[in-house]
Amino acid sequence: MLTQVGAVTTNGVQQQTLTEFSGAGNPTYPGILPVSNCPTSGCVGAGVTVFDKNYHNPRIYTYNVGYDQQVVADFVAFADFTISKGVYLTTFVNPNVSKPATLPTNGDTVSYGPGPFANLGSITDTASVAKSLYRGVTFGVRKHISHHYLFEAEYTYSVDKDFRLQ
């Protein structure tokens, strides 16, 4: 919800509240204060937030499968498998950055200077172009309560891959 509100409230409008009273009482209209317009170069630094026209709400699908097997009295060995796939995950892209350049001294890639819209600050494009995939398996042994104690030991191996499509 906050992601969607950001596009409504961060719309590039710069606000300023000025008040001047002539003596006591209410302000005298019109022309209380001179209107300060942006310079001819524009209001530099105003940022905007927009939504990609193909935006989808994120979705996550999770599947779990478990297997337990008694090995001796009060002891159970188990294996649990989990797969979780996220699609249409929200990312924030700023298309108003300059093209990256490689520095000749150390090979670092950096961006300098204004982007294609020099009069604006950042443009936050809310897109749904990310995916994730988690796969994990947990192996363990569990002792049920007897003789006034219980016991559990587990080992989890997992792989998590996150990537953006663009």
pLDDT in tens, 16-70: 555 555 555 555 666 555 555 655 555 556 677 788 888 898 999 999 999 999 9
Residue 13 within any structural domain of the chain: no
Residue 93 within any structural domain of the chain: yes
Residue 38 within any structural domain of the chain: no
Residue 23 within any structural domain of the chain: no
Q: pLDDT confidence of 4, banded at 50, 70, 90?
A: low
Residue 108 within any structural domain of the chain: yes
CA-closest candidate to residue 117, choices 137, 101, 95, 90: 95
Residue range 109-132: mean pLDDT, rounded:
75
**Number of independent structural domains in the chain:** 1
CA-closest candidate to residue 150, choices 74, 72, 66: 74
Q: pLDDT confidence of 84, banded at 50, 70, 90?
A: very high
**Alpha-carbon span 100 to 107, nearest angstrom:** 12
**Alpha-carbon span 140 to 121, nearest angstrom:** 53
* Angle, vertex CA 11, rays to CA 6 and CA 14, nearest 5: 120
Structural domain range at position 56: 46-164
Residue 22 within any structural domain of the chain: no
Tell me the two tokens of residue 7: 């596009």
Residue 60 within any structural domain of the chain: yes
Residue 144 within any structural domain of the chain: yes
pLDDT in tens, 124-165: 888 888 899 999 999 999 998 888 889 999 999 999 998 876
